[in-house]
Chain A
Amino acid sequence: MKVLKRVIPVLLMAVVLLAGCTPTAEETDTPPESKLRESGDVYSVYSGEITTINYLVTSTTAEFSVAANVVDCLVEYDHLGIVRPALAESWEVSDDGLVWTFKIREGVKWYTYQGEEYADVTAQDWMDAARYLLNPDNASATANIFYSVVKNAEEYYLGEIDDFEQVGVKAVDDYTLEYTLKHPVPYFLSMLTYCPFMPANGDFLEEVGDQFGTDHTKILYCGAYILSEWRHQDERIYEKNENYWDADNIHIKKIVSRYNKEAATLAPEMFLRGEITGATIPTASLDEWMNDPEKSKMVRPAETSFYSYWYTFNFDPNFPDEYEPENWKIAVNNKNFRKAIFHGLDRVSALLTLDPYEPERMLNNTITPKNFVAAGGKDYTMIGDLAKWTASDSFDPDLALEYRDKAREELEGKCTFPIKVMMPYNTSGTQWANESQVVEQQLEGLLGEDFIDIIPVGFPPTGFLNATRRAGNYALQNCNWGPDYADPETYTEPFYPDGTYNWPEKATDPAYLLEDGRTVYQKMVDDAKAEVLDIERRLELFAAAEAYVIEEAWVIPFRVGGGGYVATKLEPFASPYAPFGVSSLQYKGQIVMEEPMGMEEYKAAREKWEKDRAAALEAEAAAGR
């Protein structure tokens, strides 16, 4: 308990310091009103229409990106990724780490889509939101995130208790909110920036009933913007909420988004004609832009996401006999066999199908991506054994051939060669199909067609994952996972027993099993999960578990999501930065620049940002030691 007691105030102090220092410095230099920077409006086109803006139900990024800009959370992240107060002015946590008390900002109001005042934002709104969220009839897709930490919430959701008063969320008075957790959660603050922890006005919920969030007139606004118009598959218009508590940090006054099913194809051209503020440049036309002296000045990389992709070895094959599942079962349980493929996969070649210009940028050498969490001023991927993997590329043809020879020796007589490797892909797009062909030919070329026979098999998008990964109907497959909260624990779920990924608990290697029936990996994760007070220690334990998965070649870490290239006038590194939650989707702090940023400029800006962030993290850490 002692450590938590120490960590939290430190966080608080850092936050207060950061929040306190910056404005004071500026106040002395310039008059306060100039803090509001000049910015044009944002015009954009999008192709994926959202289905709802009911932020208490949805779990889709596109949908909660609306909520991110129109409803505020208790806390938020600044552009360096440091937690700052938002609707909560301050907070404290009990000695046992179970009770979190938030002091709600006074004077914040709910507005209708026409900008009319509806009510005050009070602590009751978080209770009402929770009540809505935990009502099974509303079928919220994020309720589990809430009830995985808040006391009695799961019991209430499952109908085991009827009394909502027993659920660990309580409005002590109008401006004091108290969460009681079922166990100490060191990353609780990060969870607060996700939609299930957003407020909602109870009277309004009652008023609109099941129509909550079905369109822009059916929600209330307390965030930086008001969605003044939303015509489905047509147009969305956000207008700045002039009464926003932090209005000085909102520079963009209006955001107009037009729907276009072919947006991906048309956007670059529309950007060149000045009709929109920014566009993603499709992979196919990237060379075109990069080789054009004028256009190349406007392109810059887009940020990668925290979705992590890896090629996964299946330990519980369940595919048709034509792909020889029994043979695969013997082969996959041979570590040298896995290592041969692990070191044989030329990930850069495969990535060229996605990013032909700078594929290395999207490479991910670990399961948890870089910049996700840090402790003691050190990024998680640089802790312990993970540092070794982070520092090097897994592709090593010589090593791969060495492992191949060993594997062949050990498997000779037990397996039939070539070993068939069934590799499913989704037929809905061309990229995955292309990647599969590249991987097939590259691996077979290196390891020999007499050793392995990679067989890409196309499955339609209808029920894709249920037909392939979840059914164990694959030998090797590109799988992915996105984080649910800012802690490495979230990336252990796929490999933990009862996952639906590759069932390493069914591996036959006796070295993987402990006497108590648990697997070695399970124990490592359990131990790490139990460490809730010493954050540094916690991350070390998780890093060890993750390094174990990589060392044993259960998966081949491949890439992160997002990425690609954009031509945009939107300022990078000015909006909130967060590995998880809604903060990073906000326009807060951003401006529309006169000219788009080019490659070099972007790199310089990125370097500066990384330095600033490292300093900020260190300051935070140092203040605590």
Chain B
Amino acid sequence: MLKYSIKRLLQSLVTVFIVITLVFLLMRLLPEEGYFGDGYDKLTPEQRENILRKFGLLDPWYIQLRNFYSSLLKGDLGKSIIYRPDVPVIDIIKLKIPFSAAFGLAAICVSLFFGLTMGIHMARNKGRFWDKVWSSYVVFINAVPAAVYLLFIQLYITGLKFRGRSIFPMLFNRHDPRSWILPLISMSLGGIAGYALWMRRYMVDQLNQDYIRLARAKGMSDKQIMVKHVMRNAFVPMAQYLPASVLLTISGSIYIESLYSIPGMGGLLVDVIQRQDNVMVQALVLIYSTLGIWGLFLGDILMAIFDPRIRLEKREGAR
């Protein structure tokens, strides 16, 4: 396992290198006009040249790439060029990550708890009333565009009044815990539906398996079967996604963060790509891809731990 892990980690460095280089080159394919914003017509050619020079964009691409990597090796992610000119990327994101990570982790906990409970409840009542109620919820969340129901939640629930005062404020406020509730709920809705669906599906699958029949036949209680067999097996496919989703909580939720004014990372990447802030794009892609790849790797490991039948490495004799 250790050898395998080291190999995967080294491999991830190669992947990140390729990704960053690719992103670096793709960003340079975008039109130069994008670096000037609306003011393009008001600038003289000399000014445009000076602006490009300041951004380091006048050098040939391979020089730019070399400069980028040499400063990266020194641990310098660079300074933003357009999003917040001259501010180090680290300073920008270190203010934002805590918000996204806090909300993201809380939402994962909430959705795991409620989602799994709901899924189990559904599987146990398969075809009966509660199964149908929760299924409608899952279907609704999955089918109705999030942009619509999230906006409706904010619009109507923040309008609720108790003794003439709003119960939930419309916007996030770091000092007011009441304002944390709605974003958290909104963020968890999708997750709850997702986990519940998977849980139900796998539980139903597993309950049909022969080993469950055997366990029943040998007189295990339902509870024991659930915990020792079903849950454990049903958890295997989920285990693969969990680490990546935990690590990537720092990337935030585009829609909810913007709706409630949470100053997190949500939408930052899309934003800086559209503004063509190359340095920010490179730094964010570096961070996200590293975490994403490690997440995948951790997921594989976790999956192998939960299900010993899964072999990640090539073994002697196996084809």
**A interface residues (Cβ-Cβ under 8 A, vs B):** 45, 51-52, 54, 57, 59-60, 136-141, 143-144, 157-158, 210-211, 214-215, 231-234, 258-262, 265-266, 269-270, 273, 275, 461-467, 481, 484, 500
Contact = CB atoms under 8 A, between A and B. Distances in A.
Contacts of B8: none
Given A139-B51, A214-B86, A466-B31, A233 B263 contact: yes
B147 to A, nearest CB: 10
Which 5 A-B residue pairings sit nearest by Cβ, starting from the closest? Answer: A261-B258, A463-B31, A234-B263, A139-B54, A466-B33
A259 B54 contact: no
Nearest to B87: A214
A141 B83 contact: no
A467 B30 CA distance: 12
Interface stretch (B38-46, B64-72, B193-201, B298-306): B38-46
Contacts of B39: 59-60, 141
A462 B31 contact: yes
Contacts of A467: 31
B84 A484 contact: no
A441 to B, nearest CB: 29
Contacts of A60: 37-39
8 contacts: A59-B42, A136-B53, A139-B51, A141-B39, A143-B47, A232-B95, A261-B261, A484-B42
A51 B84 contact: yes
B57 to A, nearest CB: 11
A533 to B, nearest CB: 27
Contacts of A233: 96, 263
Contacts of A138: 54
Interface string B224-245: 0000000000000000000000
Contacts of B155: 269
Given A234-B263, A262-B259, A57 B47 contact: no
A273 B50 contact: no
A231 B95 CA distance: 9
B259 A141 contact: no
A232 B92 contact: yes
Q: Is the interface of A mostly helix, strand, loop or mixed?
A: loop
Contact of B263 (A231, A275, A463): A231
A152 to B, nearest CB: 15
Contact of A158 (B37, B46, B267): B46
Contacts of B40: 465-466
Interface in B123-172: 151, 154-155, 166, 170-171
A234 B46 contact: no
Given A143-B47, A259-B261, A273-B166, A214 B84 contact: yes
Given A51-B83, A144-B44, A465 B33 contact: yes
Looking at B38, B85, B92, B96, which has the most chain A CB atoms within 10 Å of its CB?
B85
Given A51-B82, A211-B87, 8 more contacts: A144-B47, A258-B261, A261-B261, A266-B154, A275-B170, A465-B41, A481-B41, A484-B42
B267 to A, nearest CB: 7
A136 B258 CA distance: 37
B85 A57 contact: yes
Given A259-B261, A266-B170, A269-B155, A141 B43 contact: yes
Contacts of A157: 46
Nearest to B169: A275
Contacts of A259: 261, 263
Contact of B258 (A52, A144, A262, A462): A262
Looking at B30, B33, B82, B151, which has the most chain A CB atoms within 10 Å of its CB?
B33
A466 B151 CA distance: 36
B229 to A, nearest CB: 47
Interface string B48-59: 001101100000
A476 B72 CA distance: 48
A144 B54 CA distance: 17
A232 B267 CA distance: 14
B267 A261 contact: yes
Nearest to A464: B33
Nearest to A466: B33
A467 B170 CA distance: 41
A555 B31 CA distance: 28
Looking at B46, B151, B257, which has the most chain A CB atoms within 10 Å of its CB?
B46
A231 B261 CA distance: 12
Looking at A215, A258, A261, A466, which has the most chain B CB atoms within 10 Å of its CB?
A261
B261 A260 contact: yes
Given A139-B53, A141-B47, A51 B85 contact: yes
B263 A232 contact: yes
Contacts of A258: 171, 261
Contacts of A231: 95, 263
Interface string B89-120: 00010011000000000000000000000000
B172 to A, nearest CB: 9
A141 B86 contact: no
A206 B96 CA distance: 29
Given A214-B86, A215-B87, A136 B263 contact: no
